[in-house]
Amino acid sequence: MEVADRLHSAAIHLLRFARQQDVLSREGPARLSALSVLVFGGPMTLGQLAAAEQVKPPTMSRIVAGLKRSGLAKIDSDAHDARRIRVSVTAKGERLLQEARRRRILVLTEVLTGLNEAELSVLREAARIIESGIRRHVG
């Protein structure tokens, strides 16, 4: 329980710290998060995107509309069901997300600067263990 509590706290603080760079993208956190799902998960229906982001479809509709207005995502009719739409990222959207990701990683790299190789090795192994645990629970 103590390890879970400390990991939870550290993860939240680390992400908040890294997210400070996201203001440079001029897109809100909800849009960047949805964009990330599209970049790394590929095109999906509005319902799938809403489920991935754990929001209601009307909320995701507003987010997607904003992404479309900004030229970051495009909306196409579903080939199998005209009532459904498929959302995909545009080249501009992918560039914006990759630039935001690069800035966050640079900030995190600065946080790690000064750690010795043994400490970096521990963090490398911890990241591997966490990723493995998540894969076991997500499937």
Give the tokens for residue 91. Answer: 């080249």
User: Which helix or strand (DSSP H or E) is residue 92 part of?
Assistant: helix 91-112
- Find the range with the poorest average confidence among 4-13, 19-28, 29-38, 69-78: 19-28
Model confidence pTM above 0.85:
no
pLDDT of residue 22: 67
- Distance from C-alpha of 99 to C-alpha of 82, rounded to nearest angstrom: 34
Give the tokens for residue 124. Answer: 């490398």
Long-range contacts of 59-66 (CB under 8 A, 24+ apart): 60/34, 63/30, 63/31, 63/34, 64/34, 66/31
- Distance from C-alpha of 7 to C-alpha of 9, rounded to nearest angstrom: 5
Q: How confident is the model at residue 30 (pLDDT cuts 50, 70, 90)?
A: confident
Q: What is the pLDDT of residues 98-135, one digit of tens each?
A: 988 888 888 888 889 999 999 999 999 999 999 999 88
64 touches 55 (CB < 8 A): no
Q: Kindly write down the DSSP assignment for every residue of 98-128, as one continuous string.
A: HHHHHHHHHHHHHHHTT--HHHHHHHHHHHH
Other Cβ atoms closer than 10 A to 18: 18
User: Which helix or strand (DSSP H or E) is residue 58 part of?
Assistant: helix 57-69
pLDDT exceeds 80 at position 4: yes
pLDDT of residue 20: 73
pLDDT of residue 138: 76
What is the average per-residue pLDDT within 16-29?
75
Question: Highest-confidence range of 21-30, 90-99, 106-115, by mean pLDDT?
Answer: 90-99
